[in-house]
Structure 1
Amino acid sequence: MKVSKKVAGVEYAIRDIVTAARQVEKQGKKITYLNIGDPVQYGFQPPTNVKDAMIKSIREGNNYYAQSEGLPELREAISLKEKSKGLSVSADDILVTNGVSEALDMVMSSIVEEGDEVLLPGPYYPPYASYVRLHGGKPVEFAVDLKNSTPDIDDIKSKITPKTVAICLISPNNPTGAVFSEKSLKELVDIANQHDLYIICDEIYDQIVFDEKFTGIGKVSGDSPIILLNGFSKVHLMSGWRIGYIAFNNSPKLVPIRENLPKLARVRISTNLPVQYAALESLRGSQGYVSEFVSELKKRRDFVVKRLNSIPGLSCSNPKGAFYAFPKIETNPYKTDQEFVMELLRETGVLTVHGSGFGTQYGSGYFRIVFLPDLNTLDFALNEIERFCQ
């Protein structure tokens, strides 16, 4: 029977590699999972008031279809959050989605047609390329200086063609932890305006930064055609509840997509309503847990980066945000980074993700580690990685 060719371009290395881990596990080897960026799986939990809000909403009967655009009170709270970061939005500019992944799918399906090109920061989060391909487009990677967290502006300019429709940004970045400065964001917005391109900016790690204050793209947005993606999985520790949102900047160029993209929200009916009440509470309630969470992550970041840089054959830039380290394999006895990661898994049981899964042009020769586990688990894993490299 026929299968759509579009599906062939869909990849998600972070989860695809788990299949291999399960095979190794069946052979009796214990797996140390350092592959998925899910804080909740590593012991972090949403605050009690947020859990209680979810349970309360269910008990009070809020178990029906929500408005397709999202709970009005939540949209208002989200708009206040994004306005505080500089974006020009009201509640009417917010559309609540089932996670950022659905938001990304909706945006790509609204702007990408056969042959269109979308610029992605290399390396990039895999669903960006998969959704571009799924809708007939071509992902094009641009270079990012990982040491200085700066996009290569000249490289971006050289890769814009008549087929380019958008520039995507992920700041803080997955998988590298790069955080773009205000200057870099302004340069990217200026380029987009010069070429009539959408800027799609993913800020889901916006409060998970370690060394410098985070600058949101809203601060330099003006009336540019910026579509911001964000959600509650990372900072708000609500990964399994699947809730995110799209925020449209107040730009005349976004009028057509603002009129048409919500049709997709109506077709898929709505987002989980009880979770929306929990998200509302997570924005209105105490935010003290966030600084505690980030403080814990900073300790783990510092430990992991120091250890990686002490291992012969590896080097690692210092991630400025998110919870990933992206070490470079300086000395690789195997043909590819994927083979390195697979052999590491088979020999040690430590599961990481090959860098080429985040884009072959700039991800090849690296691998990604999640530093969410406790220090004892990270110490064990790094001992195994060091032994493997030796």
Structure 2
Amino acid sequence: MDINKRVEGMTYAIREIVVNAREVEKEGHEVLKLNIGDPNKYDFDTPDFLKHALADAALGGNNYYGDSEGIPAVCEAIANREKKYKNIDIAPEQYLPTSGASEGMNMVFASLVGSGDNVVMPGPSYPLYISLTTFYGGNPVEYRTIEEEGWQPDIDDIRSKVNENTKAIVVINPNNPTGALYPEKLLKEITDIAAENDVPIICDEIYDLIAFDRKFVSTASLSDDVNFIVIGGLSKVYFAPGWRIGYMGFKGPDDEINKLKEACYKMARGRLSTNTPAQLALKTAMESDHSYLNDYLPKLKERAKFSFKRLNEIEGISVTEAHGAMYMFPKIELESYKGRDKQFVLDLLKEKQVLTVHGSGFGEQYGGDHFRIVFLPPMETLENAFDKLEDFCKSKK
């Protein structure tokens, strides 16, 4: 059977490295996992009120196909939430619930990207953006984010890389994989570039309320002259990644954004509907007061602070501080692993049973010579993992 080369070329480092970890576990070793941004794999849990909302929706008979474009009351709740917390003015009918944020990304890229097109995205970047661009025949173009400045985007580099073939600019804020949080002034400059070039911005804001010390600002709140696709969902802020429920919002100054929305609607109709009970739980999430974050965020912040301090104590490793999301992106400064970050990750797994993700999996140009960790695990796990990392680095000097 011949497999389409588009599929053969798809990679997703975050999941692929798990195959290697399973082999280590088969040998009888316990693996300390710092690899995946799934809070429920650690000591976080979906808030009880959301579990009850999902169960009540199913037990209440809401097990039918919903509207392909989303249940209207759910879309209204999303619009109210985005306005309240992010000052984004998007009408309810401009939102589309999706089967996880990833489905929304796929719809957008399928609608926008073709052969010879490019998508300008941060370097390092979330791997799915790279894979989807390539899958639909386009070229992923990474703009520089400056490690020495906390992985902030290089505005001049963005400007130099947007051209007549650019179909979108991607902004991931708070950022995966670096944990960076972008200031309003910088985001406004990105919207200015988009306006000058008549290019839409894909705003990946799945981590929007997970911010430490600094205020989160939505890119889509800063201009009425740019077309925006805003992406959110239950996976991160609401600690329910396995439910696979997300949403997209379409905002723009004219009818151009509605062409994209209608294209996504066509694909939505092809998959009939998003999970109906999960949509109703999404409505409950959108209408909640988010008080559960009063417990979750301090715990995350403590682990982020500890990880930043401890990693920088390890000779051969350096890292910038995370101000949001769940990740850090340490630099490998060991000469023996220069240009070999994947081998570093594989050797660390084999020799010390600590699982991370190689930085080149987030883009070769800016991700190389780094690796990604999550600071979701309990303090004891982080301490143990970093001690093992330190021993490993000492052995490789």
How high is the TM-score relative to the length of structure 1?
0.98
- Note the 1:1-390 alignment, pairs <5 A: 1-84=1-84, 85-146=86-147, 147-252=149-254, 253-334=256-337, 335-390=339-394
Q: SS at the partner of 1:261?
A: helix
Q: Is the 8 A contact 1:87 1:217 kept in 2?
A: no
Query: For each residue in 1:191-229, what CA deviation from the matched residue of structure 2 results, as whole angstroms up to 9, or x when unmatched?
Result: 111111110010010011111111111320213111111
Query: For each residue in 1:239-276, what CA deviation from the matched residue of structure 2 results, as whole angstroms up to 9, or x when unmatched?
Result: 00001111001421313212222101101111111111
**Structure 1: distance between partners of 2:318 and 2:241:** 30
% identical aligned pairs: 47
Count of matched residue pairs: 390
**Structure 2: distance between partners of 1:352 and 1:274:** 34
Q: Is the 8 A contact 1:332 1:340 kept in 2?
A: no
Q: Is the 8 A contact 2:89 2:221 kept in 1?
A: no
The 10-residue stretch of structure 1 (325-334 or 205-214) with the greater mean CA deviation from structure 2: 325-334
**Structure 1: distance between partners of 2:184 and 2:221:** 8
Query: For each residue in 1:289-318, what CA deviation from the matched residue of structure 2 results, as whole angstroms up to 9, or x when unmatched?
Result: 113211100000011110000000100000
Question: Match for 1:311: what amino acid?
Answer: I
Q: SS at the partner of 1:283?
A: helix
* Displacement of 1:145: 1.7
Q: Is the 8 A contact 1:123 1:363 kept in 2?
A: yes
The 10-residue stretch of structure 1 (96-105 or 41-50) with the greater mean CA deviation from structure 2: 41-50
* Displacement of 1:163: 1.3
Q: Is the 8 A contact 2:70 2:273 kept in 1?
A: yes
**Structure 2: distance between partners of 1:271 and 1:206:** 22
Query: For each residue in 1:126-172, what CA deviation from the matched residue of structure 2 results, as whole angstroms up to 9, or x when unmatched?
Result: 00111111111110100012334421111112112221111001000
Question: Match for 1:281: what amino acid?
Answer: T
Q: Is the 8 A contact 2:174 2:208 kept in 1?
A: yes
Q: Is the 8 A contact 2:195 2:225 kept in 1?
A: no
**Structure 2: distance between partners of 1:255 and 1:368:** 37
Q: Is the 8 A contact 1:208 1:321 kept in 2?
A: yes
Q: Is the 8 A contact 1:88 1:250 kept in 2?
A: no
Q: SS at the partner of 1:380?
A: helix
Q: SS at the partner of 1:288?
A: coil
Q: SS at the partner of 1:166?
A: strand
Q: SS at the partner of 2:119?
A: strand
How high is the TM-score relative to the length of structure 2?
0.96
**Structure 2: distance between partners of 1:134 and 1:21:** 27
User: Which residues of structure 2 form unaligned runs of 5+?
Assistant: none
User: Which residues of structure 1 form unaligned runs of 5+?
Assistant: none
Q: SS at the partner of 2:267?
A: helix
**Structure 2: distance between partners of 1:388 and 1:86:** 47
**Structure 1: distance between partners of 2:295 and 2:285:** 15
* Displacement of 1:6: 0.7
**Structure 1: distance between partners of 2:82 and 2:335:** 44
Q: Which runs of 4+ in 1 moved over 4 A?
A: none
* Displacement of 1:181: 1.0
**Structure 2: distance between partners of 1:233 and 1:125:** 15
Question: Match for 1:339: what amino acid?
Answer: Q
